[in-house]
């Protein structure tokens, strides 16, 4: 049976895209529009967790570029925070692989 996670009000869970040490990224559907989004689900227990999440949200709010997914909203569910953002059509790994195959240099780190 597939894993179903609690998601923010107004969204339906589709699937887990990825999981890591800080949380999971899931595919969501907004019920009112049927638009698909990515939801980065993270526990926010400590002040350090909150600071890290706030920093990421503030960075997403600053950028408006076709190559960067846009922020839709930050949803709270108890001790969990969900950054709801546009769902990219390609993973970063796919983009890097594509650029390398065309002989384009790819930076190893992106600093903000």
β pairing state of 23-30 and 11-20: antiparallel
pLDDT at 77: 85
Per-residue model confidence as pLDDT tens digits over 51-78: 988 998 888 888 777 767 788 999 988 8
Q: CA-CA distance, 102 to 112, in Å (whole number)?
A: 26
Residues of the chain with pLDDT under 70: 1-5, 67, 89-112
pLDDT score at 99: 60
- Per-residue 3-state assignment (H helix, E strand, C coil) for 67-80: CCCCEEEEEEECCE
Q: Are the C-beta atoms of 38 and 88 separated by less than 8 Å?
A: yes
Token pair of 65, please? 């570029």
Instruction: Give the global pTM.
Output: 0.70
């Amino acid at each position: 049976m597939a894993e179903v996670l609690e998601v923010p009000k107004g969204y339906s869970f589709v699937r887990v895209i990825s999981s890591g040490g800080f949380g999971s990224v899931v595919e969501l559907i907004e019920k009112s529009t049927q638009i698909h989004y990515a939801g980065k689900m993270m526990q926010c227990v400590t002040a350090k967790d909150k600071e890290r999440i706030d920093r990421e949200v503030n960075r997403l709010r600053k950028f408006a570029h076709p190559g960067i997914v846009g922020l839709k909203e930050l949803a709270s569910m108890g001790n969990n925070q969900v950054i709801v953002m546009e769902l990219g059509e390609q993973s970063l790994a796919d983009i890097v692989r594509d650029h390398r195959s065309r002989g384009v240099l790819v930076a190893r780190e992106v600093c903000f």
